[in-house]
Amino acid sequence: MKDILLNIEAIIFASTEGINLHDLRLVLQEALAIEITKEELEEFVEKIKQKYASDDQVFELHIINEQYQFLTKAVYHPSINQLQLHKEKRKLSQAGLETLAIIAYRQPITKLEVEQIRGVNCDYTIQRLLDKGMISIVGKADSIGKPLLYATSFEFMQHFGLRSTKELPQLKDIVAEENSIGEIVE
């Protein structure tokens, strides 16, 4: 009986968009090779609902549009909201990705060199990449004005799962002939 209860709980948990009673019953019967009535299944689901109603659980079992699913209790919504805001801050814009790619492949590189490649001002984008910890200042160039040199950071390596910049895809591997501009002249 406990095995059935735990399997029902696991199935509901794994159903990210919820599961209705009919599908839950079918999945359970196929998974455990058992026969279970709708009434028995409703009793099991009610036990699970009671289990998660206690104060020491962070989830509750809800029925939304006849779909059972686990949702975080309302008391934890401020924390979850903060997590979502934190994740949003970590997302990179298209300009951020382009700038980051240039820095990754040409590091160490100055802001002026990045701007010459991109063709636009990169002050804001470079500042955002610094704020996110994706790049860092690694020194100053020997050219006039001693501009700052930028390179990818440890955070960049972790984010993309790289041990070194040598693991970056080679440009020849990602530039395909069909991506070329203009016509081929023979």
List the one residue out of 70, 66, 65, 67 whose CA is nearest residue 18.
67
Residues 105 and 113 sit within 8 Å (Cβ to Cβ): no
Q: Which residues pair with 70 in a beta bridge?
A: 61
Lowest mean pLDDT among 60-64, 129-133, 150-154, 156-160: 156-160
Minimum mean pLDDT range among 54-58, 62-66, 67-71, 170-174: 170-174
**CA distance linking residue 104 with residue 119, whole number of Å:** 17
Examine the pLDDT at 150 and tell me if it is beyond 70: yes
Phi, psi torsion values for 106, nearest 5 degrees:
-115, 10
Q: How far apart are CA 70 and CA 12, in angstroms?
A: 7
Whether the full predicted model's pTM is greater than 0.85, yes or no, is no
Average pLDDT over residues 67-76: 94
Give me the pLDDT at residue 88, please.
Answer: 66
User: Given the structure tokens 């930028």, which residue do they identify?
Assistant: 150
41: nearest Cα among 17, 64, 12: 12
pLDDT of 181 over the 80 cut: no
Whether 89 has a pLDDT exceeding 70, the answer reads no
The residues pairing with 15 across neighbouring beta strands, listed in sequence order, are: none
